[in-house]
Amino acid sequence: MAVMLTTTLDPGGRSGLTGYRPIRPVLLIALQHDAVDDAVTEMLFDHVVLGRYHWTVVANSLPLLLREALEVAAPEDWADAGRHLLDAGDGGDADEAPGSRRSDGGTVFDVALIRAFLRTVGEEVADRRDPDLRPALAAAAELGFDAGAVAAITERALKDLLGSATEEDWNIITGQLIAEAREVCGPAHGEEVAS
């Protein structure tokens, strides 16, 4: 008997089905963050409206968009995210961070946006995926580890999250995003609509 997997998640991030994995709502929240939202929206528009990409191209590109946002982060950004997690959301204002950085792919990210992205994803990882993250950061701080250690713990947790997503996870997330885009834009160019 085949297990049916859902392509939609309830607002609490739970589907109640056997195939549900808690990583998916974290990835969806990361993909909806301002740091990558424009690139995700453009890719979905090109797929759904213009019919340029096969859905598998979209599914294979989504992790790259998140990885690009993670890779442009500097040690001080990771340390900021770690302090934010330690201080239960009171780690200062990410909007105060000046400047911008260019990724290897050529995308320019504002430092404040990078930090906000890391904070958001860090909170989701700590709340939904890795309940040991905050205690590990607290233990490092209590033992007197410097900001570099806090940064390394935070970076490893967030990058491990991305690395733990399976092809099935990305396919399901892509299906959900494409379905949502089609509700807004209609079917892809050249795609027949069932009557």
pLDDT averaged per 10 residues, the chain (length 195): 31 40 87 93 86 89 93 94 80 70 90 94 87 87 86 91 90 91 72 49
Looking at residue 40, its amino acid is V
Q: Which pLDDT belongs to residue 167?
A: 94
Looking at residue 163, its amino acid is G
Q: Which pLDDT belongs to residue 59?
A: 93
190 lies in some domain: no
Q: Which pLDDT belongs to residue 11?
A: 38
d(CA 50, CA 92): 42
d(CA 166, CA 21): 10
Q: Which pLDDT belongs to residue 94?
A: 60
What stretches of 18-101 show up as alpha helix (H) in DSSP?
Answer: 23-31, 34-48, 55-71, 75-86
Establish how many alpha carbons lie within 13 A of residue 35's alpha carbon, considering only the half-sphere containing its beta carbon: 33
Please give the tally of structural domains in the chain. Answer: 1
Residue 102 has phi, psi (to 5 degrees) of: -100, 130
115 lies in some domain: yes
17 lies in some domain: no
How far apart, in Å, do the first and last CA atoms of the chain sit? 31
Range of the structural domain that residue 172 is part of = 23-185
8 lies in some domain: no
Tokens in use for 84?
């934010």
31 lies in some domain: yes
155 lies in some domain: yes
57 lies in some domain: yes
